[in-house]
Structure 1
Amino acid sequence: MFAIYKRELSAYFTSTTGYIFMAVFLALSGAVIWFGNFFSATTSFSTYFLVMIFFFVILVPILTMKLLSEERRTKTEQILLTSPVGLLDIVAGKFFAAFTLFEFTFLVSLLNMIPVSKYGQVNAAEIISNFIGVTCVAAALISIGLFVSSLTESQFIAAIGTIAVILGTLLVGAFSSSIPNDVIRVVVKWFSILDRYTNFTYGIFDVSSIIYYVSISTIFIFLTVRVYEKRRWS
């Protein structure tokens, strides 16, 4: 797995993908803090973290659209499928490479918060809980993007598909209350990424939500492996 992880992580910077992702992420982060904190002179960052989650609609596809679709397009997928490396190692290596780049950029973006501290006391518990929550949300969405990328050889289709799925998971909670059937409403609400994030915005370390996001990540990594298992024997 480490060989795949190392290869994919370096690939982000041998192409422009990694630089584009970091530039867009840091630009959006700076803009949100500038308009959300400097203009209102507030040291609360809960809104910042929540807004950044919505920007994942753009950011996550940049990270994931090439991960597996490019292998299929360039026919290097067959090399991976016939290599002695296990399919889970391949998929996990690609997932953790994308997650590492995200997490590094996310940490760098927090430097934007330092100038805001002049407005008053910064709530460390709020920042830490939101950071953990956003990290968990990102892991879940990256796994979804990875899965979508495994279904096509087109980066464009992978990006559009990932955008559609992420938008669905972010917005489904808003529409679940209008569903008359209780069972269907509960099932639909389960897929709401934002509903599980709420406690983190209040500085609450929610273990059940962390388990939920880890479960989502695990499910989509497993589904991606299944896609490749089917392709290996087809």
Structure 2
Amino acid sequence: TNSSGDYTYQGMYDYFLYLLFAFSILIPLLTMKLLSEEKKQKTEQLLMTAPISLTGIIMAKYLAALTIFAATLGINSFNFLLLEKYGSPNTTIILSNILGLFLIGAAFIAVGVFLSSVTENQLVAAVSSIAAEIALLLIGILANKIELTFVRLTLRWFSVIDRYNPFTGGYFDIPAIIYFISFTGVFLFLTVRVYEKRRWS
């Protein structure tokens, strides 16, 4: 029935939204020591003199964290496979939600890696990452309360929830995909620049 379908969709939406906010806290715990630990243990000099490029080192650490996140997301999405067997869920909506969450997670990990690179204190890295990621999630709500159109639209442009919404309806939104990939690239680039500056300072 339609009501059953609406209930299933709403339950799915709520579940993925819960995962989104949960990951905004868990991801910083994953990234907080990726680079800050190197600085604290005075081993970052080894990174900067290693035969592999700085970009390669940063990408290796980033991909390691991304792999753990992807595995966690996969495990948390496993229950939807049971719906495939015992129910009639909308597979497109499930897959688009998973893709949306993966892209957001990839972007958040890049933010966490960057913030981990600018401090040797793991707690500072974690708290600043959580604050940044929660802000990106809630900025759309703040934007709605601002009367100045330019400021409101600018804030909404950065809103992760606004970018994620099309995925919740089963749409593989190309502009949103480009946004998250670009967002990820910018923060990884900034992380490399941090280490390049240290290498020559």
Q: Matched residues in 1 for 2:73 and 2:110: separation?
A: 17
Q: Residue 18 of structure 2 corresponds to which residue in structure 1?
A: 51
Deviation, structure 1 residue 117: 5.3
* Residue 163 of structure 2 is aligned to residue 173 of structure 1: no
1:149 aligns with 2:113: no
Describe the SS at the equivalent of 1:153: coil
1:124-163 alignment runs, 5 A limit: 124-163=91-130
For the residue of structure 2 that corresponds to 1:194, the secondary structure is: helix
CA RMSD of aligned residues (A): 1.8
Cα deviation digits, residues 71-97 of structure 1 (max 9, x gap) = 100111000011221111111111111
TM-score by length of 2: 0.90
Amino acid at match of 2:115: V
2:66 partner SS: helix
Q: Answer yes or no: is the 8 Å Cα contact 1:62–1:159 preserved in 2.
A: yes
- Asked if residue 102 in structure 1 is aligned to residue 69 in structure 2, the reply is yes
Q: What is the TM-score with the length of structure 1 in the denominator?
A: 0.78
Kindly provide the CA deviation profile for residues 90-141 of structure 1, in whole angstroms up to 9, marking residues without a partner as x: 1111111100111112112222234455763111111111111111010011
Pick one of 208, 216, 228 that aligns with 2:183.
216
Cα distance in 1 for residues equivalent to 2:21 and 2:127: 15
Specify the SS of the correspondent of 1:75: coil
Partner of residue 54 from structure 2, selected from 87, 104, 120: 87
Deviations 1:206-229 (A, max 9, x none): 111100000100000011111111
CA contact (8 A) 1:143 1:220 kept: yes
Match of 1:113 among 49, 58, 80: 80
Once the two structures are superposed, residues 32-75 of structure 1 have per-residue CA deviations (whole angstroms, 9 ceiling, x without a partner) of xxxxxxxxx84752221121001122211121001000010011
Q: Distance in 1 between matches of 2:35 and 2:194?
A: 11
Structure 1 unpaired stretches of 5+: 1-40
The 5 Å alignment of 1:175-194 reads: 175-194=142-161
1 CA distance for matches of 2:13 and 2:165?
A: 10
Is contact 1:42-1:116 (8 Å) kept?
no
Q: Distance in 2 between matches of 1:109 and 1:55?
A: 11
State how far apart, in whole Å, the 1-side matches of 2:180 and 2:75 are. Answer: 23
What is the deviation of 1:177? 1.9
User: Take 1:68 and 1:121, find their aligned partners in 2: how far apart are those partners?
Assistant: 45
